[in-house]
A and B are shown apart, each in its own frame.
Chain A
Amino acid sequence: MIRVTDLSVNYGAVRALREVSFEAPTGEITAVLGANGAGKTTLLRTISGLVAPKTGEVALDETRLTGVATENIARLGLAHVPEGRGVIAELTVEENLRLGAMAAKVDLAAGLANQYERFPALRDRRRKLCATLSGGERQMLAMARALIAQPRVLLLDEPSLGLAPQITAQLMHTIRDLCASEHLTVILVEQNAKSALRIAHRAVVLHLGRAVASGSAQDIAQDDDLRRYYLGVAVE
Chain B
Amino acid sequence: MHNIFGGIAQGVVYALVALSLVIIWQSTHVLNFAQGAMAMFATYIGMTEIDRGLGYWWCVIISVAVGMALGGLTERVLIRPLYGKPEINPIVVMVGFLGVLEALAAAIWTSTTRNIPEPFSQIFYHSQGNLVYLSPFIIFQVILALGIMLVVAALFRFTPLGLQLRASALAPEVSRLLGIRVSRMLTFGWMLSAGVGCIAAVIQASGSFGLFPTDMDGIFVAGFIAAAVGGLESPFGAVCGGLLIGLAEQFILSYWSPNVAPLGGIIILVIALMIRPQGLFTKTAGRRV
Contacts and interface: CB of A to CB of B under 8 A. Distances in A.
Partners in one complex: yes
Contacts of A127: none
* Chain B interface extent, by class: 10 to 19
A86 B181 CA distance: 17
A82 B160 contact: no
Contacts of B170: 88, 90-91
B92 interface: no
Interface in A59-86: 69-72, 74-75, 79-80, 82, 86
Interface in A85-106: 86, 88, 90-91, 95, 98-100, 102-104
* Majority DSSP secondary structure for residues of A touching B: mixed
Contact of A71 (B160, B171, B176, B284): B176
B143 interface: no
Interface in A143-158: 145, 149
A72 B171 CA distance: 17
Interface in A109-165: 145, 149
B182 interface: yes
B171 A88 contact: yes
Contacts of A74: 176-179
Contacts of A103: 178-180
A99 B284 contact: no
Nearest to A142: B174
A90 B170 CA distance: 8
19 contacts: A70-B176, A70-B177, A71-B176, A72-B179, A74-B176, A74-B177, A74-B178, A79-B177, A80-B177, A86-B177, A91-B163, A99-B164, A99-B167, A99-B178, A102-B163, A102-B164, A102-B178, A103-B179, A149-B178
7 cross-chain pairs, A with B, having the tightest CB-CB distances, nearest first: A103-B179, A74-B179, A86-B174, A70-B176, A75-B179, A88-B171, A71-B176
Interface of A: 48, 50, 69-72, 74-75, 79-80, 82, 86, 88, 90-91, 95, 98-100, 102-104, 145, 149
Interface of B: 160, 163-164, 166-167, 170-171, 173-182, 284
